């Protein structure tokens, strides 16, 4: 801990200390400390103790941390990056750009073999890196940013324009962020999806998963698979295994916080063949060529850690992390992620 630290309060964090029937949750980043408790007296006692041991400043209720803004409204909490997004637009001279409704054009197929002129690779990498940080509170940007990040070695004009389109979308959604509403059962639920052979350069698929705890989105990923799947079922199976690993990790955190799930974590998948392959060892002959590490999902199901359920494609929230969508579908899934304006309920 540095010579001077800052205390701030937030309803969620990583580590906890049991004090009688009360909990204190503590998150430490360098010399900034975020604490939360279900008891105000325990919170005050801990802060008094820390102030006696270290030179610290109590900043009160958390409103800003690591570029993320925290807004409290009628019991709801919104995480956003409004100021960071504004600075990002200014950095790339896009403050006065025309706003767009989606981060990527529907049906757009970017390729390393594009014949466009090359652009400044350093500038392009700065754009991609800046946008990656913005995805900390904006999972609706995740697929588009993941896609343009695949061309940092030799970016072309088409890749640069795709990045600028993301900034135009950000311009129209500056005040939006992840909303966590009060109430709900606090059940951890996952969604797993993929876009089969979506990459036109190497025919690899894009996996995506989303996990929600109660009413809020707590984990998400969009990533190109490392192997070429031989079928859409196989690609879904690989994506499901990745989601299973994340489910196990999240379950470990919840158990640390004494909020472990009662029963298996449900992961929704929109491919019935994949669900059958994951549940039934009798399908081994059709999947024995798949790398052993992806069969991890079978053990999770067998041990009752995870339950895989079918969901229709229209309800597959993770679809927004695997491909560019039409506006109506995009907005529907975005609402399911609980991405709303930071100043509304």
Same domain, 30 and 49: yes
Q: How does residue 19 score in pLDDT terms, banded at 50, 70 and 90?
A: very low
Q: Which domain holds residue 93?
A: 80-172
Cα–Cα distance measured from residue 223 to residue 208, given in angstroms and rounded to the nearest whole number: 6
Same domain, 30 and 86: no
The vertex-62 CA angle with 38 and 1, nearest 5°, equals 90
User: What six digits make up the tokens of 17?
Assistant: 């200390």
Same domain, 40 and 104: no
pTM: predicted TM-score of the whole model, two decimal places: 0.87
pLDDT tens digits, residue range 200-255? 999 999 999 999 998 799 999 999 999 898 889 989 999 999 999 999 999 998 88
Same domain, 189 and 152: no
When computed from its CA atoms, the radius of gyration of the chain, rounded to whole angstroms, is: 22
Domain boundary among 138, 172, 206: 172
In DSSP notation, 139-154 reads GGGHHHHHHHGGG-SS
CATH number of the domain enclosing 224: 3.30.420.10
Q: Are 315 and 268 in contact (CB under 8 A)?
A: yes
pLDDT tens digits, residue range 246-265? 999 999 988 888 776 678 99
Q: What is the DSSP letter of 38?
A: S
The vertex-253 CA angle with 305 and 22, nearest 5°, equals 120
Q: Which helix (H) or strand (E) holds 133?
A: helix 121-134
Give me the sign of the Cα torsion angle 232, 238, 243, 247.
positive
How many separate domains does the chain show? Answer: 3
Contacts of residue 257, defined as CB under 8 A and 6 or more positions apart, other chains included, come to 16, 23, 25
Asked if the model's pLDDT at residue 284 lies above 90, the reply is: no
Q: Is residue 331 in a domain?
A: no
Of 304, 317, 315, whose CA–CA distance to 266 is shortest?
A: 304
């Amino acid at each position: 801990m540095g010579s001077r630290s800052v205390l701030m309060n937030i309803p969620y964090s990583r580590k906890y200390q049991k004090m009688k029937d009360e909990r204190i949750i503590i998150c430490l980043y360098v010399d900034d400390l975020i604490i939360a408790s279900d008891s105000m007296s325990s919170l005050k006692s801990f802060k008094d103790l820390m102030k006696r041991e270290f030179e610290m400043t109590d900043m009160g209720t958390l409103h800003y941390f690591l570029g993320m803004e925290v807004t409290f409204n009628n019991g709801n909490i919104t995480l956003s990056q409004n100021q960071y997004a504004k600075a990002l637009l200014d950095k790339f001279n896009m403050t006065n750009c025309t706003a767009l409704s989606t981060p990527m054009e529907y049906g757009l197929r970017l390729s390393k073999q594009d014949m466009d002129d090359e652009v400044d690779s350093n500038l392009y990498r700065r754009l991609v890196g800046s946008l990656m940080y913005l995805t900390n509170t904006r999972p609706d940007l995740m697929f588009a940013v993941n896609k343009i990040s695949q061309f940092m070695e030799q970016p072309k004009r088409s890749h640069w324009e795709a990045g600028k389109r993301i900034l135009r979308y950000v311009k129209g959604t500056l005040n939006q962020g992840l909303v966590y509403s009060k109430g709900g059962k606090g059940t951890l639920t996952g969604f797993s999806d993929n876009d089969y052979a979506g990459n036109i350069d190497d025919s690899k698929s894009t996996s995506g998963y989303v996990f929600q705890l109660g009413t809020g989105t707590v984990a998400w990923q969009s990533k190109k698979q490392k192997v070429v799947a031989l079928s859409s079922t196989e690609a879904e199976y690989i994506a499901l295994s990745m989601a299973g690993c994340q489910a196990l990790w999240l379950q470990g955190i919840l158990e640390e916080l004494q909020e472990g799930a009662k029963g298996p974590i449900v992961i929704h998948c929109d491919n019935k063949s994949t669900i059958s392959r994951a549940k039934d060892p009798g399908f081994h002959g059709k999947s024995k060529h798949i790398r052993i590490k992806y069969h991890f999902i079978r053990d999770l199901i067998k041990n009752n850690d995870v339950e895989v359920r079918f969901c229709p494609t229209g309800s597959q929230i993770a679809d927004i992390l695997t491909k560019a969508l039409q506006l109506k579908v995009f907005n529907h899934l975005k609402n399911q992620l609980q991405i709303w304006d930071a100043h509304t309920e």
